[in-house]
Amino acid sequence: MTTNLRVQRYQEISEVLARHGLGFLVGITGLERWVPFHQGLMGHERRPEPYTNPDHLRLALEELGPTFIKLGQLLSTRPDLLPPRYQTELAKLQDGAPPVPGATIRQQIRDELGFEPDEVFADFTLKPLASASIGQAHAATLHDGTPVVVKVRRPDVIPTIEADLDILQNLAVQISHRWEAAADYNLPGIAAEFAQTLRAELDYLQEGRNADRFAENFASDPGVHIPRVFWETTTSRVLTLERIVGMKVNDLTGLDRAGIDRAALAARSAGTAVKMVFEDGFFHADPHPGNLFIESDGRIGLIDFGMVGVVSDKLRGQLGVLLTALVRSDPGRVGSALLDLSVTRQPVDRSRLRADVTRFIALYEGRQLSQIEIGPLITQAIALMRTYHLQMPQELAKLLKMMIMAEGIGVELDPGFNLGEVLAPYVKKLMFSRFAPKELATRIAAAGADAAELAADLPELLRRVVDTLDTGGMEVHLRAAELEPLVGRMERIGNRLVAGMIAAALIGGVGSLTTGDKERWGRWEKPFMRAGLGAGSALGAYLVWTSRRPGGLSR
């Protein structure tokens, strides 16, 4: 990255922000010296109604090019960072760009695949099907007659994106230092995550691998069509995919004309999204109507696999706990689940949070999950998280956005659609699986291992605390009335710690003893194993029961 390019981009960013009336951002980001002017709206398209701040932000991001368009699209999925009106406006961001000249596309394919397009393909249309800021798509046909789509990355896009990512990282640090309101959020961390996501999206080899993974996950589902990747004609800058032919999922007139049951399609499309999250742990993070096609036989065809999300077992379990606690009207567990699902840089008033959660779940008291509208539920939960400055991990933000989009598509297809009905069996299955013997034993063993590690580290931790107290580096103010509940809580923690260690020792030790020397144990092997496992399981059940009792937030 040349210094001249960085300077040029700094100047362009500063000028665009100021031109769109976002001059306040110039001061926050420390860009004053790059701005030749500080106010005034010049070069805008004339229109009757005045431009709002969200309008200006969207227009500025569009003008700044691919990196900032992608940033805006990411921010539109982060309700924990931006108010709803900004999200709504940024969701309109158009990732369009003038087509790359045909001669340049020919050269790009020749450089990547070693041959002219007409040699690689039986037919190749230089006029693009679509042109975006990062690449464009062309219709083509393989020599065996298979219709394909060839995505070609713009040849000059990488240097600008790398310069922009470097600038964004620097600006995130500057904003964190200069703007007090930004202190609650890890902006440098968000910028680093965004850079990682965008670089992955630039690599067409990664997009091809994503498509293959989706194809494997839906191999047994005849109702979902994932396009095949043709690896012989795919590189990091050229991607060849089987062409999906059909109607867009929101072409209601076309669907009705084709005789497709829209209510059934709504349930199937939402079921596809929910399966990705709760079964596969790997989901399409941009399932807008332009990426979902309905083929003539009713199959759902998915395209564009550059933006994906990964759901860990831990996150999947936390989501299940949250939804189950909500249905059970347990404010303590709901509050704990919200804290587990988020990150905060300041202490949380748990009593106040519990009171707010109680009011929140009162809206859903007595309802089954299948009776709850998921979109409004997510929106209200996010508003609660914003109140307490709880920041969501990027994968959770993408997941929630995907769920809202899936519900929106479902309601457009069938006004009576309810995503909760589709979610209910998956959540029920997930919660049952958490208490299956194998899963329970795994969690108990993990808890025991954590407890053993904590016990090993405890002397050193206590020594550090004592050293700090000796040097006058810590002040502790306690009233006598506060000591009793504190001691009681420490006793409960100690009991669970000991129980976890004993349970882990029983389960692990009994297995090792009885399987390691069968001759010695003889006919007592199975009874002894049953007794040990029974005792370990009883202690494990005690641990789970005490950790899940109502009021967990205040204990």
DSSP state for residue 71 in the 8-state scheme = H
In a domain, 213, yes or no: yes
Q: Which of the two residues, 444 and 319, has the higher pLDDT score?
A: 319
Same domain, 279 and 407: yes
What total of structural domains would you count in the chain?
4
Residue 343 DSSP SS3: strand
In a domain, 177, yes or no: no
Cβ atoms of 209 and 226 within 8 Å: the answer is no
In the chain, % of residues over pLDDT 90 = 34
Residue 186 DSSP SS3: coil
In a domain, 555, yes or no: no
Which amino acid makes up residue 239?
L
In a domain, 118, yes or no: yes
Same domain, 362 and 269: yes
Q: What are the tokens at 358?
A: 């109680």
Same domain, 138 and 207: yes
**Alpha carbons 239 and 233: distance in angstroms, whole number:** 7
In this model, does residue 554 exceed pLDDT 50?
no
Containing 423, the helix (H) or strand (E) segment is helix 419-434
pLDDT at position 38: 34
Same domain, 496 and 534: yes
pLDDT tens digits, one per residue of 275-332? 999 999 999 998 888 899 999 999 999 999 999 999 998 888 888 888 888 878 888 8
Structure confidence at residue 429 as a pLDDT band (50, 70, 90): confident
Per-residue pLDDT, averaged over 454-482, amounts to 59
pLDDT at position 240: 98
Q: Which of the two residues, 85 and 536, has the higher pLDDT score?
A: 85
- The domain of 410 spans 249-434
Q: What are the tokens at 521?
A: 């144990």
Q: Is 286 a catalytic residue?
A: yes
Same domain, 260 and 347: yes
- Mean pLDDT (the chain) is 79
Using the 3D structure, point to which of 41, 75, 95 is the last residue of a domain: 95
What's the pTM? 0.72
Same domain, 314 and 209: no
**Alpha carbons 139 and 124: distance in angstroms, whole number:** 6
Same domain, 90 and 109: no
In this model, does residue 497 exceed pLDDT 90?
no
pLDDT at position 362: 87
Active-site pick, 80, 164, 286, 304: 286
pLDDT at position 532: 54
**Alpha carbons 292 and 302: distance in angstroms, whole number:** 5
Same domain, 272 and 384: yes
Cβ atoms of 186 and 193 within 8 Å: the answer is no
Q: What are the tokens at 131?
A: 């042109």
In a domain, 467, yes or no: yes
Same domain, 487 and 344: no
Strand pairing of 224-225 and 300-302?
Answer: parallel
In a domain, 156, yes or no: yes
Give the residue among 158, 165, 233, 232 at the shortest CA–CA distance from 195.
165
- State the angle between helix axes of 157-178 and 187-202 in degrees (0 to 180), rounded to the nearest 10: 170
In the sheet that holds 292-294, the strands lie side by side as 224-225, 300-302, 292-294, 247-248
Per-residue pLDDT, averaged over 188-205, amounts to 91
Cβ atoms of 393 and 256 within 8 Å: the answer is no
pLDDT at position 334: 87
Q: Which of the two residues, 548 and 467, has the higher pLDDT score?
A: 467
Q: Which of the two residues, 234 and 531, has the higher pLDDT score?
A: 234
In a domain, 50, yes or no: yes
Same domain, 344 and 460: no
Using the 3D structure, point to which of 214, 243, 272 is the last residue of a domain: 243
Same domain, 350 and 384: yes
∠ at Cα 11 (8, 16), nearest 5°? 125
Structure confidence at residue 469 as a pLDDT band (50, 70, 90): low
Of the ranges 232-236, 403-407, 433-437, 452-456, which one carries the lowest mean pLDDT score?
Answer: 433-437
pLDDT at position 483: 47
Using the 3D structure, point to which of 95, 115, 132 is the last residue of a domain: 95
In this model, does residue 7 exceed pLDDT 50?
yes
Same domain, 101 and 235: yes
Place of tokens 């001061």: 27
In this model, does residue 171 exceed pLDDT 60?
yes
CATH of the domain at 144: 3.30.200.20
Per-residue pLDDT, averaged over 212-219, amounts to 98
In a domain, 426, yes or no: yes
DSSP state for residue 477 in the 8-state scheme = -
